[in-house]
Amino acid sequence: MEIDNMRILKLSLLTVLALVIMSACSPQETASAVGGADNSSQPEPVCTSCGVIRAVNPVTQQGDSSGAGAVIGAIVGGVAGNQVGGGSGRDIATAAGAVGGAFVGNTIERNRGSSTYYEVVIDMETGGQQVINVPDATGISAGVPVRVQNGNIAIR
C-alpha cells in the first residue's frame, strides 16, 4: 500500500506542476477586461472654464470731445493765419487757420482721451465661445490654452 500512496503523491505533484506550467502559458486577463470596462477609453472630465484662444483683437475707444480743443485750436489757427499775407488774403488765411486749427484741436482732444483694450475670443472646451476684455494682451495669442476665472484669463 505504501507504493500506491507514493505513486498517488507523485502523480498528484506532477498534475499540479503541469497545471502551474499551463497557467503560466495562458494569456493574462486584466481586471478591466474581466469587468468589461476599459479604463483607457473613459473620457477625461471636461474643464468647464477651460478653452483655447481663437483671436485677440485690439479695440481703440475714442475719448470724448468737450469742444475746448476745437476752440483753442481755432484761436491758435486764426492767430497763425493772421500772420500770413495782407488785405483780403490775410482775412482768408485767418479764416482757414481758424477752421484748420479747430479741426486739429478737436482731433487732439479726442485722441488724448482714447484708450486701447483687447477683446480676447476663447473657444471653450464645453462648446461655444466667450469674449473677455483685457487691458493688456502680453503673453496672450491665438492657440494658447487658458482658463477663465471670474472674468479674468489665466494661461494653463
**Which one is the CATH code of 48-61+116-156: 3.40.1130, 1.10.10, 2.40.50, 2.60.40?**
2.40.50
Distance between CA atoms of residues 30 and 37, nearest Å: 10
Domain residue extents for the chain: 48-61+116-156, 64-113
Residue reference for cell 480676447: 120
Q: What DSSP string describes 4-72? A: HHHHHHHHHHHHHHHHHHHHHHSPPPPHHHHHT--GGGSPPPP-TTEEEEEEEEEEEEPPP--SHHHHH
Along the 156 residues of the chain, how does pLDDT read in single tens digits? 566 777 887 777 778 767 667 776 666 655 444 555 555 677 777 789 999 999 999 998 877 778 887 888 778 877 887 888 778 888 888 888 878 888 888 878 777 767 889 999 999 999 999 999 999 988 899 999 999 999 889 998
| CB contact set of 35 (below 8 Å; sequence gap of 6+) | none
